[in-house]
């Protein structure tokens, strides 16, 4: 009843402007007839003050008899530094389910932990648009696992300002969509909007000492019509969150 995992990673740096890599993950739970594989290709580099990262992942394997993984995800990140300011942008897509009754699992299954992987509220503290037919994508973080970008598409614009040597201020804006709504429409029996809402996050980070930081995070998430269509929501107000954190690293 043990889950075995194997990972292979290869990278090659052609120059500062281009580094390419590939990774392969194989998970196997033979007693449950479960084997999942993830093949990823990524590239990153810097050209002067401009930096970029791009990645694509494909999933395949078996989640049971005649049940196949067919999810995929892609991401593109870019930044431009104008000292002391860094401008950032990102577009990320994680596949979703078109059909609630299909044997294939087309929703991407992210290998991410119960931490903040991108936005402060949408992915970290509330239910995402994940349909979770596989049982591997909890809509809200639980049991050490988060839904990541399962059935989620988002665009992000952000800025970092190094106000002083020890203080960094950040501001991020996100817009979210459900990548697919077909399975949710099968579930509700009605049309479901892909508009999942928007979010604004702010961060204050103070480097107290070499290995000690103090951080304040604040965010506001406004749910989109997607949530009105799948949940009996009477209160359509947004979600506000505030966090103080002290981190000691060794």
> What CATH number is given to the structural domain containing 60?
2.40.160.100
Given a cut of 70, whether residue 234 has pLDDT beyond it is no
Residue 52 lies in domain: 4-248
Given a cut of 90, whether residue 30 has pLDDT beyond it is no
CA distance 109 to 78: 24
Q: Which whole-number Å values give the CA distances from 249 to 144, 191, 211, 212, in the listed order?
A: 21, 48, 5, 7
pLDDT, mean of residues 173-182: 97
Check residue 235 and report its DSSP letter.
-
Given a cut of 70, whether residue 233 has pLDDT beyond it is no
Task: Say what the pTM is.
Answer: 0.90
Of 116-120, 136-140, 210-214, the poorest mean pLDDT is in 136-140
Token couple for 17: 């402007």
pLDDT, mean of residues 138-166: 86
Given a cut of 80, whether residue 193 has pLDDT beyond it is yes
User: Do residues 153 and 181 lie in contact, with contact meaning Cβ atoms separated by under 8 Å?
Assistant: no
Domains contained in the chain, number: 1
Give me the pLDDT at residue 21, please: 97
Q: What angle do CA 164, 169, 170 make, to 5 degrees?
A: 145
Backbone CA torsion sign across 152, 158, 163, 164: positive
């Amino acid at each position: 009843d043990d889950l075995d995992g194997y990972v292979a990673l290869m990278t090659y740096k052609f120059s500062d402007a281009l580094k390419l890599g590939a990774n392969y993950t194989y998970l196997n739970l033979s007693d449950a007839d479960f084997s999942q594989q993830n093949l990823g290709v990524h590239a990153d580099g810097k050209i002067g003050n401009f930096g970029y990262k791009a990645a694509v992942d494909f999933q395949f394997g078996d989640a049971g008899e005649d049940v196949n993984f067919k999810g995929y995800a892609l991401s593109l990140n870019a930044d431009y530094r104008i000292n002391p300011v860094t401008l950032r942008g990102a577009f990320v897509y994680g596949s979703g389910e078109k059909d609630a009754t299909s044997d294939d699992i087309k929703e991407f299954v992210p290998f991410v932990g119960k931490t903040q992987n991108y936005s402060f509220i949408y992915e970290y503290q509330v239910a995402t648009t994940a349909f979770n037919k596989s049982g591997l994508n909890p809509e809200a973080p639980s049991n050490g696992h988060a839904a990541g970008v399962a059935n989620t598409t988002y665009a992000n614009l952000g800025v970092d300002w190094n106000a002083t040597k020890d203080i960094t201020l950040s501001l991020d804006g996100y817009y979210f969509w459900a990548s697919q709504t077909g399975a949710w429409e099968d579930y509700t029996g009605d049309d479901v909007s892909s508009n999942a809402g928007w979010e604004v996050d702010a961060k204050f980070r103070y480097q107290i000492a070499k290995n000690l930081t103090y951080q304040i995070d604040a965010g506001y998430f406004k749910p989109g019509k997607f949530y009105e269509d799948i949940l009996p929501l009477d209160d359509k107000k947004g979600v506000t969150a505030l966090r103080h954190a002290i981190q000691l690293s060794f």
